[in-house]
Amino acid sequence: MQEFGVCELSMVPVRKQPSETSEMVNQLLFGDLIKVDDSQNNWLLVRTDHDDYEGWVDKNMITKINKTEFKRIANGKPFFVIEASAKASIKNGTTVNIPMGGRLTDINDGNFLLSRNRYSIDNNLFTQSDKISLTDLAMKYLGSPYMWGGRSPFGVDCSGLVQIIFKMININLKRDANQQAEQGINIDFVNESREGDLAFFDNSEGKIIHVGIILGNNRILHASGTVRIDKLDHQGIFNDNQNKYTHNLRIIKRILS
């Protein structure tokens, strides 16, 4: 029988193997829904509902929920935290710091339900998915440190950055850059691109290894060392600080209609 769960902590590491010493390949944020595919000792093999990405999590970091609650959250009206961190509290005095991108469902006057808990949060710290622009969201991540597998402003990788920003405007992308490159429609030339398009970059073997969000004026926002803005042209990303091209352009995709 299929089991379901929700992330009720700030952030939860998703690992490649069922071990604390295994690399983190993904990260759950508050409000993320998961399906449980297998278990091993204290570990659960889970798939995130929004992208079917699989990995192992410590079972003590997941709140188990039934199918009815899973559907309520999945089909509810989404709101997202839009500050680096927002404190939410429940009646017993417990608080949780929800990172930017944390999903709040069916919120009403700063109150929302998750699992068995009723949370309260300041109305100025979240918004509906259609009330803020992609570019405004992207700029909020500037300066965030790069972290493999990360999806928060406290540590994020290139595809995690793109995925969470699009998720906050209610568009679900796949987790990895090579998967995201299969979505959307092709744009043939950089000068035909527009703000919000995605640029993908490959290595010497032709494998797509990097992604960023195109801004206006031949600029791109991407996670490389930190979340930064660099120049973009038909060859790739040019880093002024290093005075060289750092990424080779492979393809441009349009996700937004």
Looking at domain 134-254, its CATH class is alpha beta
Residue 129: pLDDT band (50, 70, 90) is confident
Which residues carry out catalysis? Answer: 158, 210, 222
Residue 212: pLDDT band (50, 70, 90) is very high
Residue with tokens 């803005």: 229
pLDDT of residue 91: 81
* 199-216: average pLDDT: 97
Q: Report, in this order, helix, strand and coil percent for the chain, each rounded to 5.
A: 15, 45, 40
**How far apart are alpha carbons 150 and 148 in whole angstroms?**
6
Residue with tokens 């091209």: 245
pLDDT of residue 50: 96
Map out the domains of the chain as residue ranges: 1-131, 134-254
Encoded tokens for 123: 């109305």
Residue 131 has pLDDT above 90, yes or no: no
pLDDT of residue 92: 81
pLDDT of residue 216: 87
Looking at domain 1-131, its CATH class is mainly beta
Q: pLDDT averaged over the chain?
A: 96
Residue 1 has pLDDT above 90, yes or no: no
Percentage, residues of the chain above pLDDT 90: 95
